[in-house]
Amino acid sequence: MTKKIIKVDYLARVEGEGGLYIKLKDDSVVDVKLKIFEPPRFFEGFLRGRDFNEASDITARICGICPVAYQMSAVHAMENALGVQVDGPLRDLRRLLYCGEWIESHTLHIYMLHAPDFLGYPDAIKMAKDHKAIVERGLKLKKAGNQIVSLLGGREIHPVNIRVGGFYKLFTRKEFEPLIETLKWARDAALETVRWTAQLPFPDFEPGYEFVALHHPEEYPFNEGRLISSSGLDIECSEYEEHFQETHVEHSNALHSALKERGSYFVGPMARYNLNFDQLSPMARQAALESGLTRTCQNPFKSIIVRSIEVLYACDEALRILQSYEKPERPYIPVEPKPGHGFSCTEAPRGILYHHYQLDEQGKILDAKIVPPTSQNQKTIEEDLRKFVPQHIHLSEEELTWRCEQAIRNYDPCISCATHFLKLDIERN
């Protein structure tokens, strides 16, 4: 009998601080821990007593990689509480902003965090020595996403233009025009990205998952829809807490999330793709099928292709919005505070991001609950490793460790996000 430990003290090329611990006995895995030691910051604690208008700027600081997602979930939850519906061109502009974030966040992951694993480089800068044109294309594509966010949002990280009811400032068609040329190039580059990622080497690995994502009958989901799963879940976002629960485990400062009576589940690009293929634009659907994927993808290593398809969709959708853009009459719908609860899920680049606020009659936050995508995927990541390691036990320790890191990076985990939320009621009594 031999015992072996695979350990990564500090995971690289993920956002935030985490480690990995796997214990093997002979050829079987006896323990897997995705350790999250990112220090907690207690956002849900200090949101109490803040004004409903402040939640979007405060929660943006949970994550510098996907601040738009936090701002979107926050304003939608507040609008839900206060009985306001933002639609028409203002709603389109919110989709446009989300397109920008998906493009920059996904492209960062595809080119700089994930692809080096497939090609055997420690990072994209070393990769650029042999694949300069590819890395340059990635940086330029990422920049196109950032250009949308920095024009419409004010800056790439922690944008300033989002408010409950709409925006602070609007732009004319002419001011948006330079983006159109940029995005035409970006859409071509995204198509190239799909083709490039499709020919990377992938291990056979399809353990089977319950996928969870938003679903909207007419559009690929960003801000709205019902929450559905590949195993029949179909609920309103306001019912989230009836169906999902979080538990606090000792090795992680991020709460683990699970579906009640069902267990782990999978959120993010692959879940969205599998549950919303028909809502992709024709160009994105065609690129997906030409890349060799079918209408569903079950191999998490291929999430890099799915992410590329979503970048292509986001470029296409952003162009559609910009080409039909008419400046709205007013930047925002005025909102009056009142007591109540508000719920929202939006699709952050890494999957559903749930916000729930309780407000008093002055619009002060009495209670907040936030569930980020990475805490929802934690259990699934650990389960993947339990299944993946025995299949690759013949590899050298160094190689196996690297493959395990790659398996974690399949999820583009954002540990900064996962740690900063976490709230749990289940174990309280």
Partner 1 sequence: MSQISKPKLAVWKFASCDGCQLSLLDCEDDLLAVSQEIEIAHFPEASRAVMKGPYDLSLVEGSITTPHDAERIHKIRRSSKYLITIGACATAGGIQALRNFKDVNEFISIVYATPSFIDTLQKSTPISDHIKVDFELRGCPIDKGQLIEVICAFLKGRKPNTPAHSTCIECKRRGTVCVMVAQGKMCMGPVTHAGCGALCPSYNRGCYGCFGPQETTNTGSLSAQLKKMGANDDEIVRTFRGFNAYAEPFRRESELHDKKNN
Q: Does 44 bind partner 1 (CB under 8 A)?
A: yes
Q: CB-wise, 118 or 402, nearer to partner 1?
A: 402
Q: Does 126 bind partner 1 (CB under 8 A)?
A: yes
Q: CB-wise, 291 or 308, nearer to partner 1?
A: 308
3-state DSSP assignment of residue 82: helix
Binding span for partner 1 by CB under 8 A among 162-170, 261-269, 292-300, 352-360: 162-170
Considering only residues 295 to 314 of the shown chain, the ones binding partner 1 according to CB under 8 A are none
Measure the CA–CA gap between 79 and 76, rounded to whole angstroms.
Answer: 5
- Out of 63, 84, 86, 284, point to the residue binding partner 1 (CB under 8 A): 63
Considering only residues 373 to 412 of the shown chain, the ones binding partner 1 according to CB under 8 A are 402, 405
Going by C-beta distance under 8 Å and a sequence separation of 6 or more, which residues neighbour residue 327?
89, 170, 171, 172, 173
Q: How far is the CB of 25 from partner 1 (least distance, A)?
A: 26
Look up residue 132 and give its two tokens.
């300069």
Q: Which residues pair with 29 in a beta bridge?
A: 24
Measure the CA–CA gap between 154 and 392, rounded to whole angstroms.
Answer: 47
Q: How far is the CB of 39 from partner 1 (least distance, A)?
A: 4
Binding span for partner 1 by CB under 8 A among 163-171, 229-237, 272-280, 340-348: 163-171
Look up residue 49 and give its two tokens.
């007593």
Q: Does 30 bind partner 1 (CB under 8 A)?
A: no
Q: How far is the CB of 63 from partner 1 (least distance, A)?
A: 5
Q: CB-wise, 130 or 136, nearer to partner 1?
A: 136
Q: Does 193 bind partner 1 (CB under 8 A)?
A: no
Q: Does 160 bind partner 1 (CB under 8 A)?
A: yes
Cβ–Cβ < 8 Å for 346, 214: yes
Cα–Cα separations (whole angstroms), residue 99 to 50, 71, 142, 177, 220 = 29, 14, 12, 16, 11
Look up residue 355 and give its two tokens.
């916000």
Q: CB-wise, 91 or 423, nearer to partner 1?
A: 423
Q: Does 156 bind partner 1 (CB under 8 A)?
A: yes
Measure the CA–CA gap between 200 and 304, rounded to whole angstroms.
Answer: 9
Phi-psi region of 23 (alpha: psi -120 to 50; beta: other; left: phi over 0): beta
Q: How far is the CB of 108 from partner 1 (least distance, A)?
A: 7
Q: CB-wise, 187 or 369, nearer to partner 1?
A: 369
- Out of 119, 139, 180, 283, point to the residue binding partner 1 (CB under 8 A): 139
Nearest 5°: the CA angle 41, 20, 273 is 80
Considering only residues 212 to 271 of the shown chain, the ones binding partner 1 according to CB under 8 A are 247-248, 250, 253, 255
Measure the CA–CA gap between 132 and 125, rounded to whole angstroms.
Answer: 9
Considering only residues 320 to 349 of the shown chain, the ones binding partner 1 according to CB under 8 A are 331
Q: Does 164 bind partner 1 (CB under 8 A)?
A: no
Determine the size of the site formed for partner 1 (CB under 8 A): 75
Cβ–Cβ < 8 Å for 17, 38: yes
3-state DSSP assignment of residue 407: helix
